[in-house]
Amino acid sequence: MQFKKSLLGLAMSGLVLAGCGSESTTATSNKTKAPAEVAATQQNESEKANALFDQIFDEGIMRSPMMQTYLGIKKDYDKWNDISEDNALKELEITKDNLKRIQALDFDKLDAQTKVSYALLEQSLEQEIADFKWRHHNYPVNQMFGLHSQVPAFLINQHSVANEKEANDYISRVNGTNTLINQLIDGLKVRKEKGIIAPKFVFAHVLRDSNNIITGAPFTEGEDSPILADFRKKVNKLELDDAKKAALIADVEKALTEQLQPAYQGLIAYLTELEKKADTRDGAWKFPEGEAFFNNALNRTTTTDLTSDQIHEIGLSEVARIHDEMREIMKKVNFEGDLAAFFEFMRNDRQFYYEGNEEGRARYLKEATAYIDTMKGELDKLFLRKPKAELTVKAVEPFREKSAGKAFYQQPSMDGSRPGIYYANLYDMDAMPTYQMEALAYHEGIPGHHMEIAMKQELEGIPKFRKFGRYTAYTEGWGLYSELIPKEIGFYQDPYSDFGRLAMELWRACRLVVDTGIHAKQWTRDQGIEYYVTNTPNAKSDAVKMVERHVVMPSQATAYKIGMIKIVELREIAKEKLGEKFDIREFHDVVLAQGPVPLNVLETMVNEYIAANS
């Protein structure tokens, strides 16, 4: 669905020009009014609009106990979300009603910033309604995500226990897993009737991870299971007498054996049966109306109108360009042989890998943290503002490390009490070469996701839905662009580390090729793996994980390179048109200061910034 471009253009003109010291654009109907009267009218209607935007956001949060916890809100701290089909239908009606509520506002009376918020929220609601038909076109249990792994991760990483009440809330959530998992199974049954069943390879991952949750005490002999170990650790830190602590631990053990264990056993039994109906077809093309679904997914993910063929060709072109830059690095390090031989060298030479033991993992985390700390000292050269929230580096927990991604970022809590976290997956140290460590730290940490995501939560003067919303092309485009920024200020002095930066960009370029290959051109999983292995220096295990990610998350991986290409393109346009007036800090502020936006909106923002400063 397209933006109302004329309205958005008007809004952005007023916003950016006003921000640069020029007169704010106003609606034609306001020209005959005195400036003070216009301002008062805009303030009144804009205040009304922004109050409504926040009300809609808050109402949504209050219907989502899990999101409350992610944001540090403890209102429904003892509950899970309702993921039933009945509730999905209720949510659709709420979305339709919310669209009517905002469309009752007088757009022409809004100030420039509020017009942008209006346009973004209207588009979001319209897309949510339009996309309801695709709500079952996914695999809610897979190796990348799903409630089977989210439940323990959520309890362990999100549900803090500061007092006895919060311990009892934790126990209530464990008791509630039976209802939650049964709703999940119901959803899987609906998808089965539509012919939407994950490929065979998915089941080994999810069955293994599900079994891991109910292994160990109190389910079996041996060490505590992940959830019990977490609860015991949290309760033992409370200032309670030993009898009270023992009672709480006994209560959670009962909840685990009487509610969570049968829930997971039921899920495992159903998945075991469902696996018999699974096949090896990997692409979204196999879904009902699969082509239309994938085209829609690309539109939503990239926030562009690029077709699958266009994205495929962009990927091929970028792969060729990056290969050429890598050949230049081969010359710098005096490597004799072709690019394939260099890939083999980078993939296998032990100088690029730490040992897969406690010492090697600790060294990796320490050095990744050091890269981030060094970059912190350079931020004033690149940015006008910085996030207040702290950032920490952690290894992915053992219970999910086998199936989790290579690296990812978790946003800080809304109140800043929980820092942002860069998770590095150190399960297979041979998949974490040291030459990629620097670029990974910049992407997931600073100046990457922590700068963008933590900062957007701290923005003032914009409604909450913009602070906590996300456009994948913008967010991941920024993350990939953030791997390039340090290169431009003198980082990556080690040519092998610079090769690592290029290797990560190459990986994202290959994603364009393989994602569209699988979902639009009917490539097999093996074809996708072969493309990565042939064209990148990454370990085969990386290629397998990436292709499996493509399969269960159609279009998602195309966002990184498409987003980065747009940001770099807009920066180069600004450089060319502004000449000596160009300031990289101002450009980055234009990109970050309004929170996440679709790429076409970002382009409007940058163009208006250029016009205001020319």
Q: How far apart are CA 354 and CA 363, in angstroms?
A: 8
Q: Which helix (H) or strand (E) holds 1?
A: none
Average pLDDT over residues 118-137: 97
Q: Which helix (H) or strand (E) holds 336?
A: none
Query: Where does CATH 1.20.58 sit in the chain?
Result: 5-136
Give the sheet arrangement for strand 420-424, strand by strand.
391-395, 420-424, 407-410
How does pLDDT run across 500-537, given as a tens digit for each residue? Answer: 999 999 999 999 999 999 999 999 999 999 999 999 99
Residues ≥6 apart with Cβ < 8 Å to 362: none
Q: How far apart are CA 513 and CA 320, in angstroms?
A: 12
pLDDT value of residue 426: 96
* Percent of the chain surpassing pLDDT 70: 93
pLDDT value of residue 37: 62
How does pLDDT run across 90-109, given as a tens digit for each residue? Answer: 999 999 999 999 999 999 99
**Class for domain 5-136, per CATH?**
mainly alpha
pLDDT at 189 > cutoff 70: yes
Residue where the block lists tokens 């096949």: 279
pTM of the predicted structure, to 2 decimals: 0.85
Average pLDDT over residues 352-368: 97
Residue where the block lists tokens 């977490």: 230
Closest CA to 394 of 374, 373, 408, 381: 408
pLDDT value of residue 32: 54
How does pLDDT run across 476-491, given as a tens digit for each residue? Answer: 999 999 999 999 999 9
E-strand ranges in 98-140 read none
CA 221 to chain CA mean position, Å = 37
Which contacts qualify for 11-14: CB closer than 8 Å, 24 or more apart?
11/110, 11/112, 11/113, 11/115, 11/116, 11/118, 11/119, 12/112, 12/116, 12/601, 12/604, 12/605, 12/608, 13/112, 13/608, 14/111, 14/112, 14/115
Q: How far apart are CA 261 and CA 98, in angstroms?
A: 39
Closest CA to 505 of 560, 555, 567: 560
Cα radius of gyration (the chain): 25
| More reliable by pLDDT, 72 or 252 | 252
* Structural tokens at position 586: 């101002």
pLDDT at 457 > cutoff 60: yes
pLDDT value of residue 41: 67
Q: How far apart are CA 430 and CA 285, in angstroms?
A: 34
How does pLDDT run across 284-326, given as a tens digit for each residue? Answer: 999 999 999 999 999 999 999 999 999 999 999 999 999 999 9
Closest CA to 314 of 134, 43, 166, 514: 514
pLDDT value of residue 25: 33
How does pLDDT run across 463-472, given as a tens digit for each residue? Answer: 999 988 889 9
Q: Which helix (H) or strand (E) holds 99?
A: helix 85-103
pLDDT band at 35 (very low <50, low <70, confident <90, very high): low
pLDDT value of residue 415: 78
